[in-house]
C-alpha cells in the first residue's frame, strides 16, 4: 500500500465525476499517448450515451491522464499507476459492473484498474483494448500480451496488426481479439492505422453487428458478459474483413 501511495503521489491525477444517483454500472474511456480525453473518448462517450439500453443505470466517464501519457519508455508503468489510483477510487463507489475501454498506452491504465479490483466482491469487469500497447520498459515487450485482460470477466481487443506501431500487433493471451487489418485503407499513415480500431469499435456502437464490439456489452444487451456466458475462449482471434 505504501508503494502505491508513493507512486500515485508522483502522478497528475484527475478530478473524477460524481456518481449519478441510481447508477450501478460505469463505462470508463481512457486515451493513449498523443491525445487526450477531448479527442476520441469524448466522441465515443457521446455515442455510448446515445445507445444505452438502460441509461438510468449507467455513468459514462472519460479519464484525463494526458500529462503522464507523454513519451518515454515508462509510459505504461505510469499508466498502471494511474489505473491503480483509479481502481482504488472506484472501490469507494457503489458500481457493480465496469466496462473499461482504452486505446494504445491507455491499455496500461485498464490493467492497473483491473489488477486493483479483480478480487472486489460483487464487481464484474469488462475490458476493451483498442490497438493496445503492451510493452513495458526497454525489454518487456510481451508484458501486456501476457497480462492484460487476465483479471476481467470478459476482455476483447481490436487490433490493426499491420500499422507498424511497436507492441500493438500481437493478440493478447487473455482477450478475444479481432484483427481489423483488412479494413485499413492503403494510404493510411501509421498514426491513422493505429487509430483504426477506435473507429471500427465506435461504428459498432452506432450500428451493432453480431459477434463483435458493442454487441458483447451490457450497455446494449443488459446482460453482464463473460467468456463462459458468451461461449468464447481467452486467446481466440477472429479476423474481420
Question: CA-to-CA distance for 209 and 230, rounded, in angstroms?
Answer: 15
Question: CA-to-CA distance for 168 and 163, rounded, in angstroms?
Answer: 8
Residue among 125, 181, 166 nearest 148 (CA) = 125
More confident residue, 204 or 172: 204
pLDDT at 186: 84
pLDDT at 74: 81
pLDDT band at 190 (very low <50, low <70, confident <90, very high): confident
Question: CA-to-CA distance for 169 and 184, rounded, in angstroms?
Answer: 14
Dihedral of alpha carbons 182, 184, 185, 189, sign = negative
β-pair type (176-179, 237-239): parallel
pLDDT digits (tens, 9 = 90+) for 23-52: 999 999 999 988 899 999 999 999 999 999
pLDDT digits (tens, 9 = 90+) for 81-107: 999 999 999 999 999 999 999 999 999
More confident residue, 184 or 83: 83
Contact 193, 164 (CB under 8 A): yes
Question: CA-to-CA distance for 27 and 4, rounded, in angstroms?
Answer: 24
Dihedral of alpha carbons 94, 100, 102, 106, sign = positive
pLDDT reading at 231 higher than 60: yes
Dihedral of alpha carbons 82, 108, 133, 205, sign = negative
pLDDT at 33: 87
Q: What is the pTM of this model?
A: 0.92
Amino acid at each position: 500500500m505504501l508503494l502505491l501511495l508513493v507512486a500515485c503521489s508522483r502522478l497528475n491525477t484527475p478530478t473524477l465525476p460524481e456518481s449519478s444517483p441510481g447508477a450501478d454500472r460505469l463505462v470508463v474511456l481512457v486515451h493513449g499517448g498523443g491525445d487526450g480525453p477531448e479527442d476520441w473518448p469524448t466522441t465515443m462517450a457521446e455515442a455510448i450515451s446515445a445507445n444505452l439500453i438502460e441509461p438510468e443505470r449507467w455513468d459514462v466517464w472519460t479519464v484525463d491522464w494526458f500529462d503522464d501519457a507523454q513519451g518515454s519508455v515508462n509510459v505504461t508503468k505510469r499508466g498502471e499507476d494511474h489505473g491503480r489510483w483509479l481502481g482504488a477510487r472506484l472501490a469507494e463507489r457503489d458500481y457493480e459492473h465496469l466496462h473499461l475501454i482504452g486505446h494504445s498506452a491507455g491499455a496500461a491504465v485498464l490493467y492497473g484498474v483491473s489488477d486493483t479490483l479483480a478480487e472486489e466482491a460483487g464487481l464484474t469487469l469488462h475490458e476493451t483494448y483498442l490497438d493496445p500497447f503492451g510493452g513495458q520498459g526497454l525489454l518487456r515487450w510481451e508484458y501486456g500480451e501476457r497480462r492484460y485482460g487476465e483479471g476481467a470477466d470478459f476482455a476483447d481487443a481490436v487490433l490493426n496488426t499491420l500499422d507498424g506501431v511497436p507492441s500493438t500487433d500481437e493478440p493478447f493471451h487473455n482477450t478475444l481479439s479481432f484483427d481489423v487489418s483488412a479494413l485499413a485503407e492503403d494510404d493510411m499513415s501509421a498514426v491513422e492505422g493505429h487509430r483504426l480500431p477506435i473507429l471500427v469499435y465506435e461504428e459498432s456502437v452506432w450500428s451493432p453487428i453480431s459477434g463483435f464490439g458493442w454487441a458483447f456489452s451490457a450497455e446494449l444487451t443488459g446482460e453482464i458478459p463473460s467468456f463462459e456466458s458468451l461461449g468464447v475462449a481467452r486467446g481466440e482471434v477472429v479476423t474481420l474483413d
